[in-house]
Chain A
């Protein structure tokens, strides 16, 4: 039987962890649980851009390398712990661009070792990625140079969802990057607002927006599990809270105060127990 803390225990130190962007159901309660369990040496992948969750993990010293197209707190401004970590040389950055991250995950979905992508040639991103390779159109069809991107295979994908069913399927609606992330990853851990006593795959209307339990490793109930970020149809992003964080976390001391108060002392992450289908 899983709860939030046992779900967090399933993310090993040193894991390649995939996180969706702020509008795509980030499991903030689980992120806080990971920080409480003092996860470390993570290779963090933002799909494709990161926000508060990435900034918290970086500030807490949990991240060794970061592959990302951008990290920002959106309308609340720059991500302070990310900026300081990069400027101080404390973070091994693998700067990327949005479609490169999507494409590299699609390679893993298909079980191939790499995937080509157009554009990019002439960007300094390419020169600084020794794992990317520019080749001439190998089929000789006049396509010009393309960039080959190695498949990215996350060890763990995590996300939050409004609902799972008792069969271990998870509703993802139109947030289909979560599907790609789950397909590409070795394990997928999901927190949900609630578990419904039904099978989403029995109804064509819900089946189309469902990630099959085939890909889901474990599920835990965490009400409000995306807060202070939003969850489509359930609650809005708390912009005042995130703005206050952006201000407080500008200094290392301020960030430590934030962590002590909002993460380590937190009792608000309600958690219940559910097992998922799959492995």
Chain B
């Protein structure tokens, strides 16, 4: 996550006097949470503290209706049928949103969680593909997540496809990528065109900076008439009440699953 700090060090939003500045993690959490509000069931996989915070925050904002399930540990983990249940649940269509990261993500939304090099000759190994090759197919709203917005991560073509961004006709695929949240911007994904479309640029950053740090070509926001080439909006700052919620209720909740993360990101101001 220290990568996010580097990538988004320019985020220094206006805060009221006495309020600590929004950190890059908090900013990204709030961007992701906006994508989740009103959803019935958001599930969060292993090793995902930032998505976990976003899901809990969106639930808190939405009121009592939504469910959040976090499979990393016992807190906020509703599953009682073992490790397979989250996947069975997704296969049954009971999970509305899920998050996937990627050591590499390419312009067609293929993701690589496995390693760099020409498989099986791996030069730099990452943990592995986890459940991505299934969840990407089954969960309707998959949000891709890349704190480090760089040409190292956002590449023209991934070295290894842990999970493909799109599938040919005939493959049963109710799910897939809908958005990409990075340290610099928010993009949407259009499966039909196999392309990302920029939605907004985080405060303090520019379109040029995004182009310079993105290894693939992408579309610009649509204009008000729905056509190509609209203006590029700025991603809204986190709302004060959401930030407050995040730093209190959500910080305490996520600490049950990710104590180290909570201590590092939220503790200094607690």
Contact = CB atoms under 8 A, between A and B. Distances in A.
A177 B84 CA distance: 7
**Residue of B74, B124, B127 contacting most chain A CB atoms (<10 Å):** B127
A74 B134 contact: no
A78 B113 CA distance: 13
A123 B113 CA distance: 11
B121 to A, nearest CB: 7
A65 interface: no
Interface in B118-155: 119-138
Contacts of B123: 87
A60 interface: no
B58 interface: no
Given A123-B164, A128-B119, A118 B138 contact: yes
Nearest to B71: A23
Given A75-B260, A145-B170, A97 B83 contact: no
Interface string B236-270: 00000000000000000000001111000000000
Interface stretch (A98-106, A194-202, A258-266): A98-106
A130 interface: no
A138 interface: no
A78 B168 CA distance: 34
B164 A122 contact: yes
B172 interface: yes
Contacts of B97: none
Contacts, number: 146
Contacts of B124: 87
A239 B84 contact: no
A270 interface: no
Contact of B47 (A72, A96, A97, A174): A72
Contacts of B121: 89
Nearest to A136: B170
A98 B119 contact: no
B171 A145 contact: yes
B161 A48 contact: no
Contact of A95 (B72, B114, B134): B114
A143 B172 contact: yes
A89 B259 CA distance: 35
B69 interface: no
Contacts of B161: 122-124
B66 interface: no
Interface magnitude class on chain B: 35 or more
Nearest to B258: A75
A121 interface: yes
Nearest to B81: A176
B131 to A, nearest CB: 4
B82 A177 contact: yes
A7 interface: no
B261 to A, nearest CB: 7
Nearest to A123: B133
A49 B114 CA distance: 13
A210 B121 CA distance: 43
Nearest to B132: A97
B73 interface: yes
A82 B122 CA distance: 12
B167 A49 contact: no
B134 A99 contact: yes
Given A120-B134, A145-B170, A86 B125 contact: yes
A102 B164 CA distance: 21
A169 interface: no
Interface in A34-65: 47-49
Nearest to B117: A87
Contact of B46 (A49, A68, A123): A49
Interface of A: 20-21, 23-24, 47-49, 68-72, 74-75, 78-79, 82-83, 86-87, 89, 93, 95-100, 102-103, 106, 117-126, 128, 143-145, 174-180, 232, 239
12 contacts: A49-B127, A49-B128, A70-B129, A71-B128, A118-B138, A119-B133, A119-B137, A119-B138, A123-B162, A145-B171, A176-B85, A179-B82
Interface of B: 46-47, 72-74, 79-85, 87-88, 91, 113-115, 119-138, 160-164, 167-168, 170-173, 258-261
Given A119-B134, A123-B161, A174-B79, 18 more contacts: A20-B83, A23-B74, A69-B128, A72-B127, A79-B127, A82-B125, A93-B120, A97-B132, A98-B130, A99-B91, A117-B134, A118-B137, A122-B167, A123-B129, A123-B133, A124-B162, A176-B80, A180-B84
